[in-house]
Structure 1
Amino acid sequence: MSKKLVFYTNPRSRGRIVRWMLEELGINYETKVIEYGAAMKSPEYLAINPMGKVPAIQYGEEVVTESAAICTYLAETFPDAGLAPLPEEKGNYYRWLFFAAGPLEQATALKGLDINIPAEKQGMLGFGNFEITLNALSKALMDNPYIAGNRFTAADVYVGLSIGWGMQFGMIEKRSEFVEYWERISQRPAYLRAQKLDDELIPKA
């Protein structure tokens, strides 16, 4: 008997990253919408994710949380989709996936909180400052059409939505390389399907 994949999410969350990834895979999965508040902090859900956050997935007995980890896990678990890196793509793939989950996430979060890091304290942070972070990402996308090279991978799901959301909410400036990259990947059928599925859930969430 094949293992069941359960996707725990809320359409108003980073679960949209994982939804896109699942749609790219083209596999069967069960969606469980977890409402914010008591349901997300219930003992039943805390047994899945002790942080009381979404998204999370359960595949058989394995539970994975954190969007970047989920994307990586799914790409490797379902290799037929071709979203895991080829040998020559691994350097860029892992580099920029973890960059988006670390320095970029930190930089945009602090910017959103209007926290300015004094120049003499920037060495304490993994991203240094916001401008350095964006410049590094800009360079990566000037060099290649996709974040790992010449083709779409799971890293583009995570990095792409980080950039897309960042521009949408005014956290990331609309540099031409960001806009062109986002336009390139946001027209993928799997992304459009994922958006439709989550949008339809919003009145119920």
Structure 2
Amino acid sequence: MIKLHGFALSNYYNKVKFVLLEYGIPFEEVEEKPNQSPEFLAHSPLGKVPYLETEHGDLCESQTIVEYLAARFPDKGIFSADPWEAAKQRELIMFVDVHLELTARNLYKQAFFGGTVTDETKARTEKLLVHHIAGFQRLAKFAPYLRGERFTVADTAGYASLPLVALATRAIYGRDFLSDAGIDWKGYVKTIEERPAAARVSADRKAVIVKGI
């Protein structure tokens, strides 16, 4: 059986977990936190989570894992059978994962972990995020899902990462950049959590937070 290694506070772990649950792919969870031990690096070369353990070996990077699952389980229809629609889904995932979340990640040290980031980093990140959010708005429909009326795999990325972008900007700049741009991300999250798979991901994440207090 496929084993998903990571922990429920990781947005990229939750993205992959959401895909596995949403599309009915059997898997086992193995709780592990990122680290730099030789044992862990043998499975995840950069010491990150998630990574997927399969009968063929290990696989890291969340989007690579999603692509593997789509190819291994073509009957699940993870991406649209229409090439153009599938490409548009991937385009949205790229915007969420790279242009929004990865950019906002520059702020996490101070926003979530008690550290500090430089004023230069804050200024540069603010400029990039404003630009990238504007581009994202030209693509995302939020009607109510990212691609329109129907849920797609792009929403697994949106659900996992958009709240972090909003929370990080509010913590650092005193304002939520997504809401300021007119994106009702809270309503979007509420809509996604009506799906049993998302509700399970959310419940498991909250359980870890409570356990850690």
- TM score, norm. by length of structure 2: 0.75
In the alignment, the residues of structure 2 paired with residue 191 and residue 44 of structure 1 have an alpha-carbon distance, to the nearest angstrom, of: 31
Q: Counterpart of 2:156?
A: 157
The answer to which of 65-74 and 51-60 deviates more is 65-74
Q: Counterpart of 2:32?
A: 34
> Aligned letter for 2:155?
D
Question: Structure 1: 5+ residue runs without aligned partners?
Answer: 119-126
> Aligned letter for 1:109?
R
Please say if 1:182 is aligned against 2:189. Answer: yes
Identify the match of residue 85 of structure 2 among 75, 86, 89.
Answer: 89
What is the percentage of aligned positions where both structures have the same residue? 25
Identify the match of residue 173 of structure 1 among 170, 173, 178.
Answer: 178
1:1-205 equivalent positions in 2, closer than 5 A = 4-14=1-11, 15-35=13-33, 40-87=35-82, 88-112=84-108, 113=117, 115=121, 116-117=123-124, 129-142=128-141, 145-169=144-168, 170=170, 172-174=177-179, 175-201=182-208, 203=211
The answer to which of 45-54 and 108-117 deviates more is 108-117
TM-fit CA distance, 1:201: 4.8
In the alignment, the residues of structure 2 paired with residue 144 and residue 70 of structure 1 have an alpha-carbon distance, to the nearest angstrom, of: 27
| Residues 19/63 of structure 1: CA separation in 2 closer, same or farther (3 Å cut) | same
TM-fit CA distance, 1:111: 4.8
Q: Report Cα offsets for 1:10-65 as digits up to 9, x if no partner.
A: 222232222222211222212111145xxx33322211101111111122114221
User: Would the aligned equivalents of 1:82 and 1:153 in 2 still touch at CA under 8 Å?
Assistant: no
Question: Structure 2: 5+ residue runs without aligned partners?
Answer: 109-116, 171-175
In the alignment, the residues of structure 2 paired with residue 146 and residue 10 of structure 1 have an alpha-carbon distance, to the nearest angstrom, of: 26
User: Would the aligned equivalents of 2:130 and 2:177 in 1 still touch at CA under 8 Å?
Assistant: no
TM-fit CA distance, 1:177: 4.3
TM-fit CA distance, 1:93: 1.1
TM-fit CA distance, 1:161: 1.8
In the alignment, the residues of structure 2 paired with residue 130 and residue 84 of structure 1 have an alpha-carbon distance, to the nearest angstrom, of: 27
TM-fit CA distance, 1:190: 0.4
Q: Note the aligned Cα RMSD (angstroms).
A: 2.8
In the alignment, the residues of structure 2 paired with residue 63 and residue 151 of structure 1 have an alpha-carbon distance, to the nearest angstrom, of: 32
Aligned pair count reads 190
TM-fit CA distance, 1:100: 1.9
Structure number with higher relative contact order (C-alpha < 8 Å, ≥ 6 residues apart): 1
User: Would the aligned equivalents of 1:75 and 1:154 in 2 still touch at CA under 8 Å?
Assistant: no
| Residues 148/136 of structure 1: CA separation in 2 closer, same or farther (3 Å cut) | same
User: Would the aligned equivalents of 2:9 and 2:208 in 1 still touch at CA under 8 Å?
Assistant: no
The answer to which of 62-71 and 49-58 deviates more is 62-71
In the alignment, the residues of structure 2 paired with residue 152 and residue 72 of structure 1 have an alpha-carbon distance, to the nearest angstrom, of: 18
Secondary structure of the 2:44 match is coil
> Structure 1 runs of 4+ off > 6 angstroms?
none
> Aligned letter for 2:9?
R
TM-fit CA distance, 1:97: 1.2
